[in-house]
Amino acid sequence: MKCLHMVSIFVLFLIRLTAARPDVLYEQNLAYANAFCKGAYVGFETLLSLMGYYESDEIKEGMTSGELIINEVDEDDRTQIQVVGLGLGRTGTTSLVMALEMLGYSVVHDDEQTELTDIFYAVTEETIDSDEFHEILGLRGYNASFKTEYEWVQSHEEVKAILTVRDTPEKYVNSWSIAVGFVDIVEQIPFRWMPSVRALRQSIFNEFKVETTDGNPDDYLNPEALKRTYLEYIEEVQAAIPSERLLTFNVKQGWAPICEFLEVQQSDCPTIPFPHVHTRAKLEGEMFFLRMITFIWPLAIILPFYCLMKCGKLVIEKLPFKTKCD
């Protein structure tokens, strides 16, 4: 019992420490082992998010009842989408998210997807359209989105877009090959049993298997198909959105292009180096933790049952028994 109690305290302590964004701005400076361990901890955070830990009570209530609750923030905090990140995964999007937040934006990215399960599910079920989706994001206080298709930006002249790119298609594919395992992990037990995963299943499938293969999900592990789609996607976005509303950006370029594009005063543009987060080593740690869960999840059932049996045995042994004498 004492051991179980200590484990419970440790788990609660980890939960209290969870944070949505990386706590180190320049993770490329971390040793591999350090980054890997941080990634494993991110895997723990991801597990919690997929279990619905970060969903508000209102969203859980709406998902249970089937009714979409707008759940608006205070009137002064309501806004509309002003900036959209259009880069494919593993092109520096998380680093850009942190940069935008440093400039004062409230951003929807991977971490927020599991907090806003209801509206992503509503889009999948075609309960709301793309305009309504973005309107609700604004009503909930978000003014930047990394979960938006370029076609929506194309038809909204008030919105600016940032297209993140890698140095070469090969570097993109090499990095994406680590992240893409996530889509297979969430299809396994126990993840596929989780309500949040079921609600986001189509969104995850589209992001990992459809968008990266130009609509050919069977090619989601094909390096040549991934490279081809990456290059074609960049060309499509650049052709669809006028240059005055689109910044093609490599995170190595730093703050200057971002501040100029978003019309940030030079005095307000950060002077510290541009964030560099979610490195390959960290991603490998995250994927390792999540894969481990698919193997050890039965222990979540076996251990409590074993502890209950042991406690029951101890209680029985300490109960006073009277023997009957003939």
Cα 244 to Cα 85: distance, rounded to the nearest angstrom: 15
Q: What is the pLDDT of residues 47-65, one digit of tens each?
A: 999 999 999 888 988 888 8
Cβ–Cβ < 8 Å for 305, 54: no
**Alpha helix stretches (DSSP H) within 51-191:** 57-65, 93-102, 110-113, 117-124, 130-139, 150-154, 169-179, 181-185
Report the Cα–Cα distance between both ends of the chain, in Å, rounded: 39
In whole angstroms, how large is the CA radius of gyration of the chain?
23
The pTM assigned to this predicted structure is 0.85
> What is the structure's pLDDT at 11?
39
Name the residue among 100, 240, 91, 256 with its Cα closest to residue 163: 91
Q: What is the pLDDT of residues 166-190, one digit of tens each?
A: 999 999 999 999 999 999 999 999 9
Q: Which has the higher per-residue pLDDT, 212 or 324? A: 212
Mean model confidence pLDDT for the chain: 89
In degrees, rounded to 5, the angle at the alpha carbon of residue 178 between the alpha carbons of residues 188 and 184 is 15
Q: What is the pLDDT of residues 84-124, one digit of tens each?
A: 999 999 999 999 999 999 999 999 999 999 999 999 999 99
Is the pLDDT assigned to residue 21 strictly greater than 70? no
Q: What is the pLDDT of residues 211-256, one digit of tens each?
A: 999 999 999 999 999 999 999 999 999 999 999 999 999 999 999 9
Strand duo 83-85 + 107-108: pairing: unpaired
Q: What is the pLDDT of residues 312-321, one digit of tens each?
A: 878 887 777 5
Is the pLDDT assigned to residue 288 strictly greater than 50? yes
Which position has the token pair 């490195």? 279
Q: Which helix (H) or strand (E) holds 245?
A: none
Residue 4 confidence class, pLDDT cut points 50, 70, 90: very low
Proportion of the chain above pLDDT 70, given as a percent: 90
Q: Which helix (H) or strand (E) holds 162?
A: strand 160-164
